[in-house]
A and B are shown apart, each in its own frame.
Chain A
């Protein structure tokens, strides 16, 4: 999130799209309700009518997967009706930048596409630079090569008729929605977006969010109270695990994973450190070498930096198509690796195309399964259709402690790092995950000592003693290592920091190896005190006006609660909306008041979007794998043969695997299916299915469908139905409800159904099995996230 949960109350218009916030983030509704009771409009756009819709002021239905059509239409509406927040757009976004004439867009493809590689050469999307190497700008926004004109042209194709025709959202609904949301483009109005997996789990997942980010920039809604782009994370600490580099392509703190094409740290730094020639661009990532050096030193305190870099695992080319979740299980299914840790995860239910995943596990020699309860992954060999006699995989199940039994921090969607003290002692002989890792690593080190093996140095010299004591994980020591320490006396400005002292903030991290920091964005969280444990309601009157509590927990970066907050002021530092000021420039004292600003420079000294190379919000985004502007494509499984925007039916760069068929206009699978969650269950239900009070409330796999479809298929409410796709089938209890409706798409009536993903065969026995038995292994080209929100199924009475 750019903002945080409490900040929702400051909004004038809360758009919830790609999320069922009231059900899946129940606590957030406290703040949505507060905003609503102060007069904010709450709009829900979703394929279903949910508990969120019931509480919203407006609800509009769109066919799952058609979001970019609807959002592209909103961009077109804003631009055509000149509803942009012009001062913001001109001063803070790249709308005025000129793009070179290499850039082109034709019939669904951007310039630079290589059909063989199914990827783009992004060099074709570059900005035109002046003699100093700074992007050329046209402040009149009239140059046909400027971003604003390119944007206008691109989305002029997204007229109401076409958008309505493909999304199934009637024209009058589109206009109502567009009018209401575009009204936030005024300086004293803030609109916010709350989204979740309803946007990410598509082959255009990242572009869904890009489209909305562009809208937020056009309306001047980023950096302001009650605004921003806010991902409601699906799990209490998923923000923390992303921050700490759980994904294949990033190290902690969003540093790119080293690649085999970058053989030295020097080359890595050169490739990954942006250079801006504009003195007013803070270009914060110019500091990346400091963060990488500090990270490497946190791994191997006594090694030279280049040595440490050489020890880091490196990616071969291929990106998410080679390393993301889907690729991992594809490789497993081909027997390309033999051992597997399924740690705190239940891929037999949680990954797309679960039959493929389950069968892939039979190719392993061994699996270590660390979890709280019996689960479909550790017990896959006993599952439906499996013959245990023929499966060689040896499974080691290590029961672990549950989260409430452990001390440590969790980071919520609003980037708050919150310390938690341990509750009851772990049950019986279960151990915290940290202890299990500590014991495992100790054993690995002992084996390397005894048996040598290839490349023993990184294993034997890792800075390991700082994370655990006597084989027990130490949350405080680890948090201190994550923050970082001075490895020798360092003078910064007038102050000398002593060897062994905690680094006060990432501004003090060094590129020469004199500091450690396991994760630069968390630098400053654990200094002389553990700031994540702060529980102090103290605030200034300015902070009180927007519900900002700087002394309650700690937020990355540097306790900034609303990021890009300098954009909440005009170029002189005066808040666009003084009643809800996030920061304001005090000219007399030459300092900002309110939130921690995005850099303490005077307003005119630096541009506010400090994390982009040029310092401007990116309406034109030349960094993604599938284009600088979001473009409409159908899901890889879809009910239509064409769409009105181009002849390119699908995202040409989406991840897919050879030999796996897709249902496109396949009469055997005529209905769109979406998977989702309910309040009562968590993820695959691996924990919640074992909690009697929760399984009592949502006991069984269900399939929600409209009365119209029920009639068509002769299904009664409460009947058992079979839902099937090209990949598998499952049973579910039919919930026939007017909360689902057929869509009119290209003149045809299309039906959509929905199933929750919380069930699995292991428990309860009459609960049903995983929704992912049906979903395809296709994914977004940037993240690899699977398209589990829109695929094709059939439904019949069991």
Chain B
């Protein structure tokens, strides 16, 4: 068995935010006090109590308006750079059965900037009070009990899918072949590196700056140790095409 994976078909995402809300519901996470910042995206970013946020990005191409939506979350990297960067035994676990990357209370002892800096997708966030670091844990409790992650369960359009990794990879390839007929630039995003495989119909940068894995020099908090992590990281293609 090759663990679990998500397949997120962005051609089907309508940004209804059912996933964003169901994540908070299952995790019993509080709402943040937000304001409208001139965008429908809210909260404006991930936080230690917002593990999943739908990102909205508008652009105008040759006079044509386009609107891109992307439910952002931890990608559960096949070989997680955050775990490699960890300096505390037992703070970041990699569930062998599902492949979920899970943060424990011991993350409070980590150097947060190193952990966040190690993430190619800029996902981890820290609780300013407890110093614990948090992110999506693949609803590992639900998954090990045979249930779908809360976000997948609630998705009305078939954008969010979850299952055995091989099945998800096959589904991703099939959908890619189908979607390419309409959107020739469609691509799977870092499918070999991550367990949350996005299908983007256009350049991933159109959705969010962190949809595609970011090179270390462009990332926040790049440190010596962070660089080291990058060097240790297996070299893999950034996209499937």
**Interface residue? A125 (CB, 8 A):** no
Contact with B along A1-38 (1 / 0, CB 8 A): 00000000000000000000011001101100100010
Asked if A697 is at the interface of the complex by the 8 Å CB criterion, the answer is: yes
Complex CA gap A693/B20 in Å reads 9
Chain B proximity mask over A705-727: 1 for CB below 8 Å, otherwise 0: 00000000000011100000000
Query: B16 to A735, Cβ gap below 8 A?
Result: no
Task: Enumerate B30-47 residues with CB–CB distance to A below 8 Å.
Answer: 30-40, 42-43
Task: Indicate whether B219 reaches chain A with its CB closer than 8 angstroms.
Answer: no
* Cβ-closest chain B residue relative to A61: B65
How far, in whole Å, are A693 and B178 apart by their CA atoms in the complex?
35
Q: Chain A contacts of B66 at CB under 8 A?
A: 54
How many A-B pairs fall under 8 Å by CB?
96
A54 to B24, CA, bound (A): 26
A37 and B156 CA atoms in complex are apart in Å by 15
Partner of A55, one of B14, B40, B60: B14
Contact assessment for B31 and A693 in the assembled complex, using a CB-CB cutoff below 8 Å:
yes
Asked whether B15 is an interface residue with its Cβ less than 8 Å from the other chain, the reply is: yes
Most chain B Cβ neighbours within 10 Å, of A33, A53, A695, A698? A33
A738 contacts the other chain (CB 8 A): yes
How far, in Å, is B38 (CB) from chain A's closest CB?
3
User: At the interface, yes or no: B103 with Cβ under 8 Å from chain A?
Assistant: no
Q: Are B42 and A699 in contact (CB under 8 A)?
A: yes
In the complex, how many angstroms separate the beta carbon of A766 from the nearest chain B beta carbon? 7
Complexed CA–CA distance, A736 and B21 (Å): 26
Whether A699 contacts B158 in the complex (CB less than 8 A), given A54-B69, A694-B21, A735-B40, comes out as no
Q: Are B35 and A33 closer than 8 Å at their CB atoms?
A: no
In angstroms, how far is the closest chain B Cβ from the Cβ of A436? 30
Quick one: which of A695, A701, A735, A766 contacts B38, CB cutoff 8 A? A735
Closest B residue to A707 by beta carbon equals: B60
Question: A722 to nearest B CB, angstroms?
Answer: 15
CA distance A735 to B25 in the complex (A): 28
How far, in Å, is A483 (CB) from chain B's closest CB? 32
Are the C-beta atoms of B156 and A29 separated by less than 8 Å?
Answer: yes
A733 to B39, CA, bound (A): 10
Write the chain A residue with the least CB distance to B156.
A27
**Do A693 and B14 touch across chains, with their CB atoms under 8 A apart?**
no
Whether A700 contacts B14 by the Cβ 8 Å rule is no
A701 to B36, CA, bound (A): 8
Q: Does B95 contact A (CB under 8 A)?
A: no
Indicate whether B17 reaches chain A with its CB closer than 8 angstroms. yes
**Contact present for B30 and A692 (CB under 8 Å):** yes
User: In the bound complex, what is the Cα–Cα distance between A651 and B198 (angstroms)?
Assistant: 51
Q: Which residues of A contact B58 (CB under 8 A)?
A: 737-739
Q: Tell me, in angstroms, the Cα distance from A55 to B10 when the chains sit together.
A: 11
**B180 on the A face (CB < 8 A):** no
- What's the nearest-Cβ distance from chain B to residue A594, in Å? 28
Give the nearest-CB partner of A733 in chain B: B36
Chain A residues contacting B39 (CB-CB under 8 Å) are 717, 735
Min CB–CB distance B222 → chain A (angstroms): 30
Closest to A716 in B: B38
The chain A residue with its CB closest to the CB of B179 is A37
Indicate if the CB atoms of B65 and A699 lie closer than 8 Å: no
Select which of B36, B67, B68 is within 8 A of A735 by beta carbon.
B36
Q: How far is the CB of A84 from chain B (nearest CB, A)?
A: 31
The answer to whether the Cβ of A676 comes within 8 Å of any Cβ in the partner chain is no
B178 close to A37 (CB less than 8 A): yes
Contact (Cβ within 8 A) B65 A738: yes
A311-328 Cβ-contact flags toward B at 8 Å (1 or 0): 000000000000000000
Q: Chain B contact residues: over half helix, strand or loop, or mixed?
A: loop
> Smallest CB–CB gap between A116 and chain B, Å?
49
Please indicate the chain B residues that have their CB under 8 angstroms from the CB of A22 in the complex.
14, 16
Cβ contacts under 8 Å, A680 to chain B: 17
B65 touches A739 (CB 8 A): yes
Give the nearest-CB partner of B59 in chain A: A738
Whether, in the assembled complex, A734 has its beta carbon less than 8 Å from a beta carbon of chain B, the answer is: yes
Q: Give the contacting residue for A734; candidates B21, B38, B156; CB below 8 A.
A: B38
- Report the minimum CB–CB distance from A679 to chain B (whole Å): 5
In chain A, positions 652-702 with a C-beta closer than 8 Å to chain B are 678-680, 692-702
Whether A699 contacts B14 in the complex (CB less than 8 A), given A30-B158, A738-B65, comes out as no
Decide if A49 is an interface residue (CB 8 Å cutoff): yes
Kindly state whether residue A142 has any CB partner on chain B within 8 Å.
Answer: no
Q: How far is the CB of B156 from chain A (nearest CB, A)?
A: 5
Does the CB pair B35–A696 fall under 8 Å?
Answer: no
Output the least CB separation between B130 and chain A (Å): 21
> Any chain A CB within 8 A of the CB of B142?
no
Q: Tell me if B239 is interfacial: C-beta within 8 Å of chain A.
A: no
A678, B34: Cα distance in complex, Å: 16
Q: Does B185 interact with chain A (Cβ within 8 Å)? A: no
Residue B225 interfacial (CB < 8 Å)? no
> Cβ of B43 and Cβ of A696 under 8 Å apart?
yes
- Residues in A neighbouring B209, C-beta threshold 8 A: none
**Of A678, A696, A719, A733, which contacts B31 at CB under 8 A?**
A696
In the complex, are the beta carbons of A679 and B36 less than 8 A apart? no
Residue of B nearest to A732 (CB): B36
Q: Which residue of A lies closest to B53 (CB)?
A: A697
Contact yes or no, B40 A678, CB < 8 A: yes
Closest B residue to A679 by CB, please name it.
Answer: B16
Question: How distant is the Cα of A481 from the Cα of B126 in the complex, in angstroms?
Answer: 59
Say whether B31 contacts A33, CB under 8 Å: no
| Contact status B65-A717, CB under 8 Å | no
Q: In the complex the two chains form, is B30's CB within 8 Å of A702's CB? A: no
- Which residues of A102-122 have CB atoms within 8 Å of chain B's CB atoms? none
1/0 per residue, CB under 8 A from A, across B163-174: the answer is: 000000000000
In the assembled complex, B104 has its CB within 8 A of some CB on chain A:
no
Task: Please give the distance in Å from A18's CB to the nearest CB on chain B.
Answer: 18
Neighbouring B residues of A678 by C-beta, 8 Å: 40
Name the contact of A26 in the complex, choosing from B18, B36, B42 (C-beta under 8 A).
B18
Question: For residues 45 through 94 of chain B, which have their beta carbon under 8 Å from a beta carbon of chain A?
Answer: 58, 60, 65-69
Within 8 A of B (CB), among A731-776: 733-739, 766
B240 on the A face (CB < 8 A): no
Check A695 against B31 for contact (C-beta < 8 Å).
Answer: yes
Residue B210 interfacial (CB < 8 Å): no
Q: Please name all residues of chain A whose beta carbon is closer than 8 Å to the beta carbon of B67 when the two chains form the complex.
A: 49, 51, 53-54, 739
Task: Choose one: B21, B34, B36, B158; the contact of A702 (CB below 8 Å).
Answer: B36
A-B contact pairs, 29 of them (CB 8 A): A22-B14, A22-B16, A23-B14, A23-B16, A26-B14, A26-B156, A29-B16, A30-B156, A33-B12, A49-B65, A49-B67, A51-B14, A51-B67, A53-B67, A54-B66, A54-B68, A54-B69, A679-B16, A693-B31, A694-B21, A696-B32, A696-B43, A718-B38, A719-B38, A733-B36, A733-B38, A736-B38, A739-B58, A739-B67
Known: A22-B16, A697-B34, A697-B42. 13 other contacts (CB 8 A): A26-B18, A27-B156, A49-B67, A51-B69, A54-B66, A54-B67, A679-B17, A697-B20, A700-B35, A717-B38, A734-B38, A735-B38, A738-B60
Interface, chain A (partner B; CB < 8 A): 22-23, 26-27, 29-30, 33, 37, 49, 51, 53-55, 678-680, 692-702, 717-719, 733-739, 766
The 4 closest A-B CB pairs, nearest first, are A718-B38, A692-B31, A717-B38, A696-B31
